[in-house]
Chains A and B, each alone.
Chain A
Amino acid sequence: MDTVVVTGASRGLGRFCADELHSRGYRVVGLGRTPPRDAAFETRAVDVSDSKSVAAAVHDLRRDASVYALINAAGIASMNLVVTTPSETVRRIIETNLLGTIFCCQQIAPALIRRGNGRIINFSTLGVPLAIKGEAIYIASKAGVEGFTRVFARELAPHGITVNAIAPGPIDTALLAKVPQDKVDAVVRQQIIPRQGTPQDVWNVVSMLLAPESSMVSGQTLHVGGA
């Protein structure tokens, strides 16, 4: 049974992906700051922005040949103008979204390298190409994820591992709960497909990237909704 490690598995897209994977017979190790009590999959408490916390949480997985994929879905956002965003908020967003992705990749990649194949799926946002006002810090963190994804894909290609990013538009999750609907609608209108996406739309892309047939797709950012 293949193991998939999912960060941000407590809620939102991470939880949706973890549930889908579990229902399809994968062993899921869900990482989250506050692991859900109602999950049918294995959960572990971790702060992805803390490299030591990540290392301790997944140490046993580094030599686990069943580990096939890592899905970095942990993320936080805060809509605000750059000049009115507190420095601590800036730091938290960058640390969770960008450093968290990097730290988890550092710890799980050795398992995939040992195995000789695997998948890493990071999460960006459609906000990067759309340059949405009020999301500069969030978008900066995700632009970093995209750059990291492209380079890490090159580093892991010799080991049969693909690294890609999925960049959804506004999806109805907890992350979007505080965003006014008119703002959401304005972003959706800019998408190539002007419909608000669902967690299922995102899962469809995750599922495609996990498939063995996607072994020639790496270093890419796939925009759900189009930009």
Chain B
Amino acid sequence: MSAGYVETETFIREEVAQLTGQAVGTITGDTVLVGTGRVLDSADLVMLLLSVEEFARDSLGARFDWTSDSAMSEARSILRSVGSLARHLTELPAET
């Protein structure tokens, strides 16, 4: 069964909390991932993307290829915040 938005956002919040050492409760859907006010450095962002790639495959049945042209061209909007990333993931088509 495919995870929904809440589960997806929760997963990302927990990952961000673990990478930053912050409490999960301080990470919200509005927490910024890239650009001004970001909570992750570039190395942590890569680690988050690797985790999200696996989450998408295992829990959403979808392929999140963050090195694809389409993902890269929209990276700034997809990765703007925890919420925008969670929305993008839940909108990915399931792999057949």
Binding site for B on A (CB under 8 A): 51-52, 55, 63, 106-107, 110, 113-114, 155, 158-159
Number of chain B interface residues as a range: 10 to 19
A-B contact count (CB 8 A): 21
Contact B68 A113 (CB under 8 A): no
Q: Which single residue of chain A is at the shortest CB-CB distance from B72?
A: A106
21 contacts between A and B (CB under 8 A): A51-B69, A52-B69, A55-B65, A55-B67, A55-B68, A63-B54, A106-B67, A107-B67, A110-B46, A110-B50, A110-B53, A110-B67, A113-B46, A113-B47, A113-B50, A114-B50, A155-B42, A155-B43, A158-B43, A159-B43, A159-B46
Give the residues in chain A near B54, CB-CB below 8 Å. 63
The majority secondary structure among interface residues of chain A is helix
Q: What residues of chain B have their CB less than 8 Å away from a CB belonging to chain A?
A: 42-43, 46-47, 50, 53-54, 65, 67-69
Bound complex: CA A113 to CA B69 (Å): 20
Chain B residue at minimal CB-CB distance from A159: B43
Most buried by A among B65, B67, B68: B67
Q: Give the CA-CA distance A107 to B46 in the complex, in Å.
A: 13
Find chain A residues with CB under 8 A from B69 CB.
51-52
Interface hub of A107, A158, A159 (most chain B Cβ within 10 A): A158
In the complex, what residues of B have CB within 8 A of residue A51's CB?
69
